[in-house]
Structure 1
Amino acid sequence: MALLEKLPRHLFTLRGWGMLAAGAFTLAAAQVMGRRDLLTLALLLLVLPLVSLAGIRLVKPRFRVYREFNPSPVEASAPATVHLAVARTGPGSGRVAMEERLPAHFGQAPSFWFPSRSATGGTSRYEYHLTSRHRGQFRIGPVTAEFTDPFGLSLHRQAIDDGDVLTVTPAAVVLPATGLAGARGSDGVTATRVRANPSDDDIMTREYRHGDPMRRVHWPATARHGSLMVRQEESVTTPEATIILDHRAGAFSGGPGTSMPGLPDPEGHAPATSDTFEWSVVAAMSVSAHLTERNYSLRLLDTGGEPAFLHSPSAPEPAMEEFSGASGLQSIAESLAAIHLSGPAHPRRDGLLRDAIRREAPARHADRRGAPGVRTPAGAEQGPPAFDDQLMDKLSAHRMRGPLIAVLGRITAEEAAELAPAAAYGTNSFAILAVERPTDFQDVLEVLRQGGWRALAVAPTTRLTVAWGQLEQDAALPVAPASEVRRGAGVAT
C-alpha cells in the first residue's frame, strides 16, 4: 500500500493502479504458465483502466459557474462573502469533488462536493468568506473539478470556469475634524458674494425686509409672488478640493521584493509598490473621504498634471479627474485599489550619481524643457516632467476654489522650488511627504513653507491622524496673489 500511495494521483485512483498492477502480475503468470485464460484476464485488467482514462478526457462533463461578491468592491481587512452557484449543463451523473482556487494570501482554498445536499433545480449553491489585508485586484477562481469514471479507476482534474476579479480598495482612516478645509456653511457649501449684475436666470430672491433698498426689488418675482421680493446677491457654490498624488517610482523606495499582490500588469510583471507609497495611497483615500463627507467636489491629479488614475488598471474611468458625491468617492476607491508605482527609478537611489546629479540640476531642468544639446549624467533616467506648466495650468484654472493637498514621496529641493508657487492657487495648501527618514527633508520642507505651504514629512509608521493634526499646527506663511505666480519663481533658501 505504501508503494501505491507514491504513485501519481492525477491519472488513476488507487483502485486503478491496483488493477494495472494485478494485470501486469497476471500477464507475467500467463507467460510462465502458458495459460491463455490468464492472458485474457491480464489484457482485461490492463485495458479497462486505460479505456476509462481516455473516456473521461474525451467526454468531459460541462458545468456553469456563477460567482458573486458581497460587497463588491470590498475594503482591505473587511470580510467579503462569496456566493457560488454551480449547475451541470451536460451529460453526466455522480458526485464531483470541486475546489475554488485562491491567491496564496487568502489562506486555504475551499473545497466542496457537487451536487450539494441542498441542491435545487440542478443547481448547487455554496458560500464562503474572504478577507484581504492588501489592496489590489485578485483573481478568485477558477473552480476546479475532479472527475472519475463510473468504475472509479481514473481521475481527471480541470477548471470549469475562468474565475472572477475581486477588487480590494484601501480602507479610509477617519480623520479628525479640523479647520484645514477652510470656511464652509453648516451644509458643507461656501457662500460667494456676487458683485457684478447677475442675469435673471442666476438671480435668487427673498422676501423684502425692513431696511432693504428699493433698488434691489425684483419686480418680476414680486408680480409672481404678490409681495415684495428683493434680489439676494449671494450665491452658494459647492467647494472644490484638489489632491496631487505622486506615484512616481523615483519618489518612493520600491526595489526588489516590493511587488503588489494580485493581478500582474499587461506585460506580466508584478506591479511595484513600497511602504511609503502604501501610506500615501491610504492618505489619499482618507483625505478624499474626509472632504467628500463635507460636500467637497474633488479633483485628483498626478505630479505632471495628468489625471491621477490614468495608469491605474482598476480605474473605472482612467481619464477622469473630477469626482463628487458618494459615487465619485466610490470611483476614487476603486481607482486606488490597483494603482502602482510608474516611471524610472529615482537617481537619488544611486549614491555614486547623487553629487553629480545635484551639480547638474540646472542642466537637467533645461533638458526637461527641451533645451537642445543638454545631457543628463549617464544612468540618470528621466521620467515624465513633474510640477511643470501643465500642472500649474490645471491648478490656475481652479484657483482659490478650495484647499490644495499634495501627497508626495521624496522630492528634491529643486522640485520643491518648482512646486512652491502653486500654494497661491489654493485657499489652503498642504503637502505631506511620505519618506523613510523625515529628518533628511527639512530643507525641502523649508522651501515649501517659504512658498506658503503647510508641509511636513512623515515615516510610513506615522499614524495618519497624527500627521493630519500636525498639518493644522504648522503655520503657513503669507503667499503672493495667484495672479502674481510665475513658473520657475522658486523661493530662495
Structure 2
Amino acid sequence: MRLLANLPSRVLTSRGWGLVITGVLALLTAQVLGRRDLLYVGVLLVCLPLLSVLMLRLIKPRFTVERKFAPQTMETGFTSTVTLSVRSSGPLSGTVVMQERIPARFGESPEFHFPSRHPSAQGASHYEYRLRSSSRGVYDVGPVTAAFTDPFGLGTSRHTLGGTERLVVTPAPLDLPHSPLTGARGADGFAATRRNANPSDDDVMTREYRAGDPMRRVHWAATARHNELMVRQEESVTTPEATLILDQRQARYSSGFHSAFGVENDDGTSLLFSPGFEWAVVAAMSITAHLLERNYALRFVDETGAPALRSSVSAPWPDDEEHQGQTGIHNVAEGLAALELSPDPAKRTTTRRTSRRAASPSRSSQAGPNRFTPFGDPMMDKLATYKHRGPLLAILGAITAAEARDLAAAAEFGSTSFAILVADRPQDLHPVMEILRAAGWHAVAVSPSADLTAAWTYFDSPGAASASTAKTTVPSAGGWTGGRA
C-alpha cells in the first residue's frame, strides 16, 4: 500500500496503479507458466486503466462556474464571504474533487466535492468559504481546478474550470473625533455659514416684505418686532470643501530602519510600500471618510498637484481628484487599495496600468518641465484656484527643508492648513516644522507607530501645532497602523 501511495497520481489513482501492477505480474506469470488464461487476465487488467484514462481525455468536462463576493470590496481586518456556484452542462459520472485557487496569504485553498449533498433544482452546487486579509491590495481569486475520475475510480484527469475574479482589499478607515476642522465649519471655514444654512427662530435672517413674496415666508415674530411685514431670507446651502495632499515618493518614506521595500504578488507584480507609507495611506483613508461623511467635497491630489489615485491599478476613476458622498468614499478606498510608492516622480507613468486600462489622454497631453516637480507651480496654481474655499491638509513623508519652503507658501490658500509628517525619526524634522509653522501651517510629525487619533486631536491643542516652540512629535502607540504582513 505504501508503494501505491508513492506512485504518481496525475494519471492513475492508487486503484488504477494496483490493476496495472497486477496485470503486469499476471503477464509475467503467464509467460513463465505458459498459461493463456493468465495472459487474458493480464491484458484486461493493464488495458482497463488505460481505457479509463483515454476516456477522461476524450470527454471534456463542461462546467459553469460563478463566483460572488459579499462584500465585493473588503476592508483590511474584515472578512468577505465567497459563494461558488458550479453547474455541469454535460454528462458526468464518477467523483469530482474541486479546489479553488486563492493567493497564498489567505491560507490553504478550499476543497469540495461535486455534486454537493443538496444541489439546487437547476443542478447547481453551491459552496461558501471566507477570506480575511490584514493587508490592502488587489488579489485574483480562482480559477477552480477539478480532478475527475472514471466510474471505476481507475484514472484521473485535472482541468481548469472558469476564470478568476478580482477581490479588492481596501484600507480600513479609523474613526476620528470631531475637531475644529470639521466640527461646525462651512465652506469658508467658519461656523456662521453652517448656522445660516440651518437657521433657528432666534438667528434667522429676515428682510422687509416685497411684492410677490409668498405669504408662507412671512416671519411673524420679526414682523411684530419691526411693526412691518418681514419675510425669511433663505440662503442657499453651500457644500463645504477641503483639499488633501498625499506625498507618494519613495525617497521620503525610505530613510532609517523602516526603508521602502517591495512585495511580490501572486500575479507577478511588485508593489513598493513601507510602514511609514502604510500609515499615511490609512491616515488618508480615515480623513477622507471623516470629511465626506460630513458632506464635504474633497479634492485629493499628490505632491505634484495631480490626481492622487492616477497611478493605482485599482482606482475605478484614476483621473478624478474631486470626491463627494458615499460614492467618493468608495472610489478613494478602491484607489488606495493598490496605491504604491513612486520610485521617482518623473517616472510616474501608467506603465503599471497599461495591462488593465489605457493611459488617459488628458494625462498624456500634460507637458512642461514642472509637471512632476513636488510642490511646484502646477500645484500652487491649482491651490490658488480654490483659495480660502476650505481647509488644506497634507500627509507628507520626511520632506527636506527646501521642499518645506516650497510648500510653506501654500498655507495662504487654505482657510486653515494642517500637515502631518511621517518619519522613522520625527524628532529630526524640527527644522522642517519651524519652516511650515512660520508660514502659518499647523504641523506635527509622527512615527509609523504613532496613533492616528492622537495625531488628529493634536491639532485641537490651543496653539500647540502652530507655535514655533510647540512640541514636534506625537507619542507612539506600540505598533504601526495598517501594516503588511
Q: Quickly name the TM-score band, shorter chain normalised.
A: 0.7 to 0.9
- Percent identity at matched positions? 48
State the one-letter code of the partner of 1:284: A
2:399 maps to which residue?
411
Cα displacement (A) at 1:471: 2.8
1:404/1:429 contact within 8 Å kept: yes
1:206/1:230 contact within 8 Å kept: no
Residue 258 of structure 1 pairs with residue 261 of structure 2: yes
Aligned equivalents of 1:169, 1:454: Cα separation in 2: 29
Decide which of 204, 208, 212 is 1:220's aligned counterpart.
212
1:62-461 equivalences under 5 Å are 62-121=62-121, 122-181=123-182, 183-184=184-185, 214=208, 217-221=209-213, 228=229, 232=233, 234-253=235-254, 258-260=261-263, 262=265, 264=267, 268-344=268-344, 370=369, 384-461=372-449
Aligned equivalents of 1:284, 1:51: Cα separation in 2: 62
Report the secondary structure of 2:262's partner residue. Answer: coil
2:259/2:274 contact within 8 Å kept: no
Distance 1:330 1:212, change over 3 A: closer
Distance 1:256 1:110, change over 3 A: farther
Aligned equivalents of 1:390, 1:146: Cα separation in 2: 58
Cα displacement (A) at 1:43: 2.6
2:345/2:373 contact within 8 Å kept: no
Cα displacement (A) at 1:475: 3.6
1:191/1:237 contact within 8 Å kept: no
1:189/1:237 contact within 8 Å kept: no
Runs of 4+ in 1 over 6 A off after TM superposition: 204-207, 209-213, 223-227, 254-257
Aligned equivalents of 1:256, 1:210: Cα separation in 2: 56
Distance 1:396 1:68, change over 3 A: same
Cα displacement (A) at 1:30: 2.8
Distance 1:129 1:101, change over 3 A: same
Structure 1 portions without partners, runs of 5+: 194-203, 347-367, 372-382, 479-493
1:181/1:428 contact within 8 Å kept: no
Aligned equivalents of 1:396, 1:127: Cα separation in 2: 53
2:15 maps to which residue?
15
Cα displacement (A) at 1:244: 0.5
Distance 1:205 1:29, change over 3 A: closer
Structure 2 portions without partners, runs of 5+: 220-228, 347-366, 469-485
Aligned equivalents of 2:190, 2:18: Cα separation in 1: 79
Aligned equivalents of 2:216, 2:205: Cα separation in 1: 22
Residue 476 of structure 1 pairs with residue 477 of structure 2: no
2:260/2:273 contact within 8 Å kept: no
State the one-letter code of the partner of 2:243: T
Report the secondary structure of 1:237's partner residue. Answer: coil
2:206/2:230 contact within 8 Å kept: no
Distance 1:415 1:293, change over 3 A: same
Aligned equivalents of 1:314, 1:210: Cα separation in 2: 47
> Deviations 1:303-337 (Å, cap 9, x if unpaired)?
11111101111111111111111111111111111
Cα displacement (A) at 1:257: 8.5
Aligned equivalents of 2:168, 2:452: Cα separation in 1: 24
Aligned equivalents of 1:312, 1:277: Cα separation in 2: 14
TM-score by length of 1: 0.79
Distance 1:218 1:331, change over 3 A: farther
> Deviations 1:351-392 (Å, cap 9, x if unpaired)?
xxxxxxxxxxxxxxxxx9859xxxxxxxxxxx9321111111
Distance 1:468 1:211, change over 3 A: closer
Cα displacement (A) at 1:205: 13
Aligned-residue RMSD, C-alpha: 3.3
Cα displacement (A) at 1:163: 2.2
Cα displacement (A) at 1:64: 0.9
1:404/1:428 contact within 8 Å kept: yes
Aligned equivalents of 1:289, 1:465: Cα separation in 2: 14
Cα displacement (A) at 1:10: 1.6
1:451/1:477 contact within 8 Å kept: no
